Amino acid sequence: MFEFRMPSLGPDMEAGTLVEWLVKPGDWVKRGDIVAVVETQKGAIEIEIYQSGQIEQILIDLDSKVPVGTPLARIRTELEAKPGAAAAAPPPITPAAPPPVPSLVRAPVRPPPPPIAAAPGAAGRVRASPAARRLAEAHGIDLSTVTGSGPAGAITYADVERHLGEAVAPPERKRALWLDLDAMRTAIAAAMARSKREIPHYYLEHQVDVTACEQWLTQKNATRPPDSRLLIGALAIKAAGLGARRFPAFNGFFRDNKFEPAQAVHVGVAIAIRGGGLAAPALHDADQLSLDELMSRMRDLVQRTRSGRIRSSEISDPTITVSSLGERGVEALYGIIYPPQVAIVGIGKVVTRPWVVDGAIGPRSIVTLTLSADHRVSDGHAGALFLAEIGRLLQEPGKL
């Protein structure tokens, strides 16, 4: 048995509001499943679970705001939940019922009508009547969010009707699943103020010729449909990820006055949200991904972030951040580190500049890379090597 608790989705998060349960008692969950949606200052975050088991009890009602660390649900481990495991479990504290005494009374002539079969519900299967299913489908209702009152707890037509009535009543619920930009601004303000207050930043800048990248991308994308084309941002993230792998002083967290290098490289990708929001959810193991995989995950991440469906691990896992202004940006940006991370890499707009190559001046595609790093953890010398390494990696895009 273990408790699933309100996770911390950032250094400034003190509490979260539970807005949606995606599981119910009896459901099986496995590591990585999304089990709930929590409303935070960063918006509605899909919360994953990190252990497998069977949901025993939901402890927190919807729309309750609870502090980080509060148990949200009790979960039986797979071992405990197995049929027959009860025998192996420690004896209950309450005295067990006495064993049945053999009765002299014979079974009644007519056995009671067979109970409505309480078939062992397959994991995740909702017991609902055909009428309820059809009504729910017509209104796009997720049956796992409806409480059943029919035979063996089945969801009936009337249950869905009741749920519909409730769903229509409070319109706030629906809004809560979208981003609250005011709250997000408050969170950004708190994190950035803390960063500038606590982290002694130093800044480096490096101009890199990415003509090779551009040529490689042109060739690579020539035969691809638009939705699977690679962008230079993906190359930069991969290069930054590989660089961070080689220079661990820029990949990790500064906590309790000491630096904890991270084992994996999860690159936080700064994503602007229309209307004035910003989030930097993680591209997990960015240094390990192929460029195609990285690109498709990046597309998914951007799309989900902008629709307010980020996962809890994506919020809490980034070990380093990459911020790219893209084609509409300017030549250079100097980022503010997102605590407790220790570095942020900035990627400016690619511009065409006169450049000396092999003793001759010619037009080349130039990008300005910047690094903002935590001087408590690293020095400018190491930072320069790290930034130069990213620039070097971008010279051979085929090897990324």
Residues in contact with other proteins by CB under 8 A are 109-110, 113, 115-116, 129-134, 149-154, 156-158
Query: What is each CA distance from 236 to 291, 297, 307, 322, 344, in whole angstroms?
Result: 10, 15, 25, 9, 13
> Closer to other proteins at the Cβ: 150 or 380?
150
Residue 156 Cβ vs other proteins, minimum distance, rounded to whole Å: 4
Nearer to other proteins, 132 or 322 (CB): 132
Instruction: Compare residues 44 and 136 and give the one whose CB is closer to other proteins.
Output: 136
Q: Which is nearer to other proteins, 84 or 165 (CB)?
A: 165
Closer Cβ to other proteins, 26 or 391, answer by number: 26
Q: What is the 3-state secondary structure (H, E, C) of the chain?
A: CEEEECCCCCCCCCEEEEEEECCCCCCEECCCCEEEEEEECCEEEEEECCCCEEEEEECCCCCCEEECCCEEEEEEEHHHHCCCHHHHCCCCCCCCCCCCCCCCCCCCCCCCCCCCCCCCCCCCCCCECHHHHHHHHHCCCCHHHCCCCCHHHCECHHHHHHHHHHHHCCCHHHHHCCCCHHHHHHHHHHHHHHHHHHCCEEEEEEEEECHHHHHHHHHHHCCCCHHHCCCHHHHHHHHHHHHHHHCHHHCEEEECCEEEECCCCCEEECEEECCCEEECCEECCCCCCCHHHHHHHHHHHHHHHHCCCEEHHHHHCCCEEEEECCCCCCCCCCCCCCCCECEEEEECCCEEEEEEECCEEEEEEEEEEEEEEECCCCCHHHHHHHHHHHHHHCCCHHHC
Least Cβ distance, residue 152 to other proteins (angstroms)? 7
With respect to other proteins, which residue has the nearer C-beta, 151 or 363? 151
CB of 80 to other proteins, least distance (A): 29
- Whole-number minimum distance, CB 148 to other proteins, in Å? 8
CB of 340 to other proteins, least distance (A): 52
Q: Cβ 140 to other proteins, closest distance in Å?
A: 17
Give the phi and the psi of residue 158 in degrees, each rounded to 5: -65, -35
- Nearer to other proteins (CB atom), residue 149 or residue 290: 149
Lookup: tokens for 207: 């101009």
Q: First-to-last CA distance in the chain? A: 44
2 or 157: whose CB is closer to other proteins? 157
Residue number with CB closer to other proteins (10 or 148): 148
Shortest distance, position 123 Cβ to other proteins, whole Å: 22
Please give the Cα distance from 391 to 370 (Å, whole number): 11
Q: How far is the CB of 141 from other proteins (least distance, A)?
A: 16
Residue 109 CB, nearest distance to other proteins (Å)? 6
- Find the angle CA(312)-CA(317)-CA(320) to the nearest 5 degrees: 140
Of 106 and 110, nearer to other proteins (C-beta) is 110
Q: Show Cβ contacts of residue 129 under 8 Å, excluding neighbours closer than 6 positions.
A: 150, 154, 155, 156, 157
